[in-house]
Every structure is written in structure tokens, then in C-alpha cells.
Amino acid sequence: MAQDIYILGIESSCDDTAASILCNGKIRSNIVATQEVHQQYGGVVPELASRAHQQNIVPVIHQAIAKANIGKKDISAIAFTRGPGLMGSLLVGTSFAKSLSMGLGIPLIEVNHMQAHILAHFIEEDGFGKPEFPFLAMTISGGHTQIVKVTDYFSMEVIGETIDDAVGEAFDKSAKILGLPYPGGPLIDKYAQEGNAKAFKFPKPKVSGLNFSFSGFKTAVLYFVEKQLKEDPHFIEKNLKDICASIQYTIVEILMDKLKKAVKETGINQVAIGGGVSANSGIRTALLDAEKRYKWKCFIPKFEYTTDNAAMIAIAGHYKFLKKEFSDYSTTAQARYKI
């Protein structure tokens, strides 16, 4: 009888400290400690994030192992996020993973955070199908916006990406302009569901190929709000739901236009999404609509696997473990780490 493969996944790329245990590709535990400290600053403060990771990492890993009902000696290998992300945050997870791997005498596996968002679709989960190769993956988060052609677990090619800001940044900055607290993206989504998406028109940037741009969009939202507030100081509170719905509608259109183009150019009609923004109801609805309209096969991850989590790091580690792709102790964190 084959021995069970237990992978401990560790994620610390930004402001969430996470640990997960996978057994043969199935989740046994998935623990995330979020950091509230950043809200008062309206964004993630890297130094504070690093300190919070140092406080959280031991209890989070301890909890993940305990919840999985195993001991440290049962772990087959440790997978950790090497990058991309905030350097100080990555260092905490990387250092801890290397030390634990050395202490337990088990393999160390480095994982690319963006590849892991895509591979989250391969976690064994009832009611969720897995894409077949080749497929297109759109990774959308606060730090990334990419369209990736995936031909195998670790054979990925970025065919389109943002040339400036990420889509999550566009959501959060728009929310900030409207006076909403950080993180504002989910609040725009919440208010958008009760608003009229055609109430206000925002421009869609013209970018060549399959690339994206959101900096001009953010500026357009800022100028629009400033202009309206001069005419009516209560404009935002009177029209908040309609403004949010119009912002969300435009952002989703920008994403979907490029995705349609990617499907047309590659001939691949299997589409998966990943990253924090894939929790957005507008993009989920648009994908399900495209599935019916264009006969696509769409894969939308379970909510807990959209934002940063360690289960996706563990599943990436699982497939690397099967190929015996291990790292040595000279490996270092990389803030910029291409797929």
C-alpha cells in the first residue's frame, strides 16, 4: 500500500499568515491569520506585515498540524511561497520553512505564489471540477492581473498582463476615492449589487494585445468624483450604489474583453480564474454568462481558495513532490518571481 503524502504549505507573501496540511491532494486543514493592523493606514504597511507574520507563524502552523490530526513526524515535505510578494513578509515564511525542513530532515519545496493561485483548481474538492490541459487562467488580485496559458502543472506562459496597476488596486483605489475603508474592493462589490451599472460611464483603456492597464481608469474615477462633488457635495452618498455598480461593470468589461480575445486567439475555451478578485460577484456572473453564451467551460475556485491561502501552496508542493522537485537550503525569497 502506497504511503500517504502529507504536505505542509506555508504562505506569507503579503499580509496573511497561512498554513495548510494536504493529504494526497485533499485538504486536512487550512488556517489563515489575517492582519487587522493595516486598515487604519488604508493599505498594507510592509514592516508591520513582517512583524505580524513573526507573531503568527508558529501558532498558525501548530494549529494546521493539530487540526489535520497528525504529528510533525508524519509530514512528507514542506512547501513555501518563495515569491512574488513583499520581501519582508516572504523572508519570514522562507526562513521558517527552511528551519523546519532542516529540523525534521524532510524535503523543502519552493512555490511560485501566482502558479499556486492557478493550481488551487486541482485541490480535491467535492462539487468542483478540475480544468483539463491546455486551459487559460486569469489571475486577478491586488498585485497581479495576468492571462496565462497553462499546458501542464508547471508549464505556464503569461500571454497578457497589466502594464501598470493590478485590477485589485483599481477596486481599492476607487473605493478610497469614494471614502470607503480599506480593503474597499469587497465593499464596491457589495454596493454594486444594488446599483444601476449603466448609471455612469467610465472609459475603457485601449491597450494592445492581451495586456491590461488600470492607472488611467483610476484617474478617470478620481476626476469624475471631484467634478461631481463640486456641483453637489452630497453626490457620493446620494449615488454610492450606482457609482459602485458602474465602476464594477467597467472593470469586469475590461477583464472580459481581453479574456474573449485570448480565447479567440488561442482556440482554448477552458477558462479558470484565481486570486483575490476572483471572489468578486461581477466577474463570477460574467464568466458564468460567457460559459452559456460562448460555450466556454469555466472554473471558479471555492471562496476560501481565492484570497491568499496555504492550501494552494500545498497543492503546488504536492505536484512538485511527485516529480521530486526539491529546493536546497541556499534558496532565498524573491519579491519579483516570474511564472
pLDDT tens string 116-160: 999 999 999 888 999 999 999 999 998 899 999 999 999 999 999
CA-based torsion, 336, 133, 164, 300: positive or negative: negative
Task: Determine whether the annotation assigns residue 117 to a binding site.
Answer: yes
Burial class (CB in 10 A: 0-12, 13-18, 19+), 65: buried
41 pLDDT more than 70: no
4 is in an annotated binding site: no
Give the contacts of 223 (CB within 8 A, at least 6 positions apart): none
**308 labelled ligand-binding:** yes
Q: What pTM was computed for the model?
A: 0.94
Q: Look at residue 339 in the predicted model and tell me its pLDDT.
A: 86
pLDDT above 70: percentage of residues in the chain: 97
Q: Report phi then psi at 149, rounded to 5.
A: -90, 120
Q: Rounded distance, CA 317 to CA 79, Å?
A: 5
Helix, strand, coil percentages (3-state) for the chain, rounded to 5, are 45, 20, 35
Find out whether 113 is annotated in a ligand binding site. Answer: yes
Count of beta carbons in the 10 Å neighbourhood of residue 109:
29
pLDDT class for 1, splitting at 50, 70, 90?
A: low
Least confident of 43-47, 94-98, 177-181, 227-231: 43-47
H/E element, 8: strand 6-11
Backbone angles phi, psi at 136, to 5 degrees: -100, 135
Mean pLDDT, the chain, rounded, equals 94
Taking the C-alpha atoms of residue 317 and residue 323, their distance in angstroms, rounded to an integer, is 10
Closest CA to 339 of 63, 132, 115: 115
- Averaged pLDDT, 179-195: 94
The cell numbers describing 244, all together, are: 459602485
pLDDT level of residue 48 (50, 70, 90 thresholds): confident
pLDDT tens, residue by residue, 252-297: 999 999 999 999 999 999 999 999 899 999 999 999 999 999 999 9
Distance of alpha carbon 307 from alpha carbon 310, whole angstroms: 10
CA distance 86 to 337: 11
Q: Is residue 30 marked as binding? A: no
Confirm whether residue 215 is marked as ligand binding: no
Residue range 81-110: average pLDDT?
Answer: 97
Q: In sequence order, what are the residues at sequence separation of 6 or more whose Cβ sits closer than 8 angstroms to the Cβ of residue 338?
A: 158
The residue written with cell numbers 482554448 in the block is 268
Note every long-range contact of 289-292, with CB atoms under 8 Å and residues 24 or more positions apart, other chains counting.
290/256, 290/259, 290/260
| Chain CA centroid to CA 119, Å | 11
Question: Do the annotations mark residue 139 as ligand-binding?
Answer: yes
Q: Is the pLDDT of residue 62 over 80?
A: yes
266 is in an annotated binding site: no
Mean pLDDT of 90-101: 98
Cα distances (angstroms) measured from residue 75 to each of 171, 195, 216, 226? 39, 49, 48, 56
Q: How far apart are CA 338 and CA 317, in angstroms?
A: 17
Contact (Cβ atoms closer than 8 angstroms) between residue 162 and residue 211: yes
Predicted confidence at residue 16, as pLDDT, reads 87
The rounded distance, in Å, linking the Cα atoms of 333 and 317 is: 16
Summarize the confidence of residues 172-178 as an average pLDDT: 96
DSSP state of 180: P
Average pLDDT in the 179-202 region? 95
Rounded to 5°, the CA angle 223-227-232 comes to 145
What pLDDT does 172 receive? 94
Residue 209: pLDDT above 60? yes
Range of lowest pLDDT (33-37, 121-125, 126-130, 204-208): 33-37
Three-point CA angle 322, 271, 202, nearest 5°: 135
